[in-house]
Amino acid sequence: MDMIPAFPLSITAFPGESIKLHIFESRYRQLFGEVQERGMSFALVPYYEDRKVSIGTEMELVKIIERYDDGKLDVEVKAVKPLKVHQLHSKYPNRLYPGAEVTRLPWSDSMDRMANPDLILAIHRLYKVMNIKNVTINDPSVFRTYQLAHKVGFNLDQELHFITLETEEDRQLYMLEHLNKLLPLAQEMETLRKRAELNGHIKNLKPPF
């Protein structure tokens, strides 16, 4: 178990994912100053006031995008490994920023081919039903589930469980099972929406006989 700097935020980050953040508090400006200077990683810990979250993500600084005259920063960070968070402390020893006692969890993106070829088809079907057109779905040869894990309707518990799945094959199966349950609900809601739009309008319906 290690103690590393921590950044509590009300988001989850999947290994492989890059995130841009605006840093304005002095304690986190200190954190990113040391992260840049020492090349160390930190823990992004999903934080919600009404619950304790024990899964986080180890993050690395990709680059400082911009430094402002008042000391604020825009940064790009990348998630590298899932973490088991044993304890979140309000202060890292002798620092302003928080710290976390963590254990690193395994994560592998290695895959020669799609383990579940029906997955991309299910994603396309969901996006068609929901009229989602601005999301890029990568070719199966380079597709990884983390690329769309925020965009398939996972709730917080599902996102946190997804992070704990070690292999890409397991993550594809988990996402496919979720979509197979979600699609009928999405189709039902879309049917309801279309019926609601007909209310008050003249209906051109063909009698059955």
pLDDT score for 209: 45
Helix ranges (DSSP H) in the chain? 26-38, 118-129, 156-164, 168-198
Q: Tell me the pLDDT tens digit for each residue of 118-130.
A: 999 999 999 998 8
Which has more pLDDT, 140 or 208?
A: 140
User: What backbone phi and psi angles, to 5 degrees, belong to 114?
Assistant: -65, 125
Q: Which residues pair with 57 in a beta bridge?
A: 44, 82
Q: Tell me the pLDDT tens digit for each residue of 69-122.
A: 999 999 999 999 999 999 999 999 999 999 999 999 999 988 877 888 899 999
Question: What is 2-104's CATH superfamily?
Answer: LON domain-like (2.30.130.40)
Q: Which residues pair with 79 in a beta bridge?
A: 59
Q: How far is CA 6 from CA 12, 52, 96, 207, in A?
A: 13, 15, 11, 65
> What is the pTM assigned to this prediction?
0.85
pLDDT score for 74: 96
DSSP one-letter string for 22-52: EE-SHHHHHHHHHHHHH---EEEEE-BTTB-
pLDDT score for 121: 93
Question: Does 208 have pLDDT greater than 80?
Answer: no
Structural domain boundaries in the chain: 2-104, 118-198
Q: What is the mean pLDDT of the chain?
A: 90
> CB 126: neighbour CB atoms within 10 A?
18
